[in-house]
Amino acid sequence: MTVVLETTGLMKSFGGVQVIDDLSMQLHDGEALGIVGPNGAGKTTLFNLITGVYRPDAGRVTFNGKDITGLARQDRCRAGIGRTFQIPKPFSDMSVFENVLVCAAYGRSMTERASYERCVQTLELTRLSPQANQQAGTLPLLDRKRLELARALAGDPKVLLLDEIAGGLTEGEVEILIDTIKDLHREGISIIWIEHIVHALLAVVQRIVAISFGRNLIEGDPNEVMCSDEVQACYMGGTPL
Amino acid sequence: MSNVVLELKDVDVFYGDFQALFKVSFKVEEGMTFAFIGANGGGKSTLLRTIAGLQRPSSGHVLFHGEPVDQFPAHKRVGMGIALVPEGRRVFPSLTVRENLVIGAYGGRKGDWNIESVTELFPLLKPLMKRQASSLSGGEQQALAIGRALMSNPELLLLDEVSLGLAPVVIKRIYEAMVLLVGSGHTILVVEQDVQHVLTVADYVACFLEGKVALEGKPADLTSEAITAAYFGM
Ligand SMILES: Nc1ncnc2c1ncn2[C@@H]1O[C@H](COP(=O)(O)OP(=O)(O)OP(=O)(O)O)[C@@H](O)[C@H]1O
Ligand SMILES: [Mg+2]
């Protein structure tokens, strides 16, 4: 299996607190990988290191076999790494279409024609086409989540990073979102998904990496990881699945 | 007759032309856990905000211990013992964790909740006291928002989307704390997306659909088919 994205020995501290501590992980081409860990374990920070929001104090990020640790944020996006945010901030006054268009045009510096086409395609993929002309700020929660996905997909990423995209949805809505994420995965996009709604993760991912205090805790088969003593103790609180 | 802490009588709420709540009426007795479920946009958050005094009903009344509180602004209601944990991790971003907690106690009542007891409930906050709230992780902010509401020692606690972004182990602690709180005479109104979970602690459930109560009752009397139907308006 080819590794599409890899972090090796990542280190990051904030104000003397070691938030990421020798973290290494791999994402295989076409894989859907889940990440779990306690609140404050460093999951979002890991995404920030992969996408270039922060530079690691030590360690590397490799994408498609190239070291991208020194690359600027927008260059990583253009290289094919898309992400959604735990606390989304769409342009509320713009339409859904415009929101996605901005991400397509700037994210990958495509021609105008190509951006439009990518935009239409992305809205189809996320099933947002009927809402294309609606103002983003007026969307109900599930559609806001879809928009967050669409914005991340606009640059035609090879790897998609999802940060708690299911948070706040009703159970029925989570099921719908799961279907959409499965569609994206089937399209060939490799996915890393951070999520506390464990059953949603288990419905999609093929492997889970659990982290705690910024360190690798355990990884492997999703059910085995979630049932492991380590994950039960520090994350699940001993509740049976 | 048991002690009614909160009563809503025919409450209508509008946002401009949009009616968010339609003649909502119910009573909540002391020591009860009352759960609100239902689709997003159904009016659950508006309801909690109205009880907390952040939203004014255009008609109808909110009664606390039998007295209308409609004329009291939100900060006065905190002093009366009503505290809201709003939707979406609202903390003061530029203040430290400790400052956020201290401010939560302003205008509140005396009681068992203080910085020590809050950090006992959320050990994850303990090492973060001096940290600026904006630098906290999503779950840390949510824990802080709940802790801040507890600092006012409320009699009536309004929890909007209590488990948003929290690890299962933390959610478990909160649910255990809710049981302890109602055991010591507190009353809780909770909005929760995890229906199965909230039904294990709720004494009474109301399912909102498009601003109206579509279904209500004791968890034991509600079948999952009835709940599903109420969610989708069937
Ligand atoms: N800019 C920053 N300055 C200081 N501390 C930070 C900063 N960003 C994150 N942290 C701290 O680093 C730790 C890891 O944060 P991170 O957001 O990665 O957690 P997380 O695993 O995503 O948690 P959650 O599940 O709650 O979202 C937390 O304790 C957080 O408070
Ligand atoms: Mg996070």
pLDDT in tens, B165-220: 999 999 998 898 899 889 888 999 999 988 988 999 999 999 999 999 999 999 99
DSSP B123: G
Sign of the dihedral defined by the CA atoms of residues A139, A195, A42, A163, in that order: negative
To the nearest whole Å, the CA of B53 is away from the closest chain A CA by 23
What is the total count of domains within chain B? 1
Cα distance between residue A78 and residue A74, in whole Å: 6
Q: Is the pLDDT of residue A23 over 60?
A: yes
pLDDT at A140: 87
Contacts of A111 (CB under 8 A, 6+ apart): none
Partner residue opposite B167 with nearest CB, options A38, A87, A142: A38
Q: For residue A95, what pLDDT band results from cuts at 50, 70 and 90?
A: very high
Domains contained in chain A, CATH given = 1-80+157-241 (3.40.50.300), 89-156 (no CATH)
Instruction: Report the separation in Å between the CA atom of B115 and the middle of ligand 1, taken as the mean of its atom positions.
Output: 21
Residue A166: closest CA among chain B residues belongs to which residue?
A: B165
Q: Looking at chain B, how many residues does it have?
A: 234
CB of A176 within 8 Å of any CB in chain B? no
ipTM, 2 decimals? 0.89
CB of B79 within 8 Å of any CB in chain A? no
CB contact under 8 A, A164 and B232: no
Contacts of B26 (CB under 8 A, 6+ apart): B7, B8, B34, B206, B213, B216
pLDDT at B48: 96
Identify residues whose C-beta is under 5 A from ligand 2, the ion: A 43-44, 86; B 137-138
What H or E segment, with its residue span, contains residue B189? strand B187-191
Beta-ladder partners of A191: A32, A160
Q: For residue A241, what pLDDT band results from cuts at 50, 70 and 90?
A: very low
Phi, psi of A177 (to 5 degrees): -65, -40
The candidate with the shortest Cα–Cα distance to B227, out of A131, A142, A171, A218, is A171
Residues A141-155, mean pLDDT to the nearest whole number: 92
Q: Which of B97, B126, B137, B199 has the highest number of chain A CBs within 10 A, making it the mutation to test binding with A?
A: B137
Q: What is the CATH number of the domain that holds B30?
A: 3.40.50.300
Residue B231: closest CA among chain A residues belongs to which residue?
A: A172
Q: Which residues of chain B register pLDDT less than 50?
A: 1
pLDDT at B196: 87
Which residues on chain B are in Cβ contact (under 8 Å) with A170?
38-40, 193, 231
Question: What does the block give as tokens for B219?
Answer: 């968890």
pLDDT at B234: 67
Residue A136 · residue A108 · CB < 8 Å: no
Q: Can you list the positions of beta strands (E) in B107-181?
A: 156-160
Question: Domain limits at B113?
Answer: 4-232
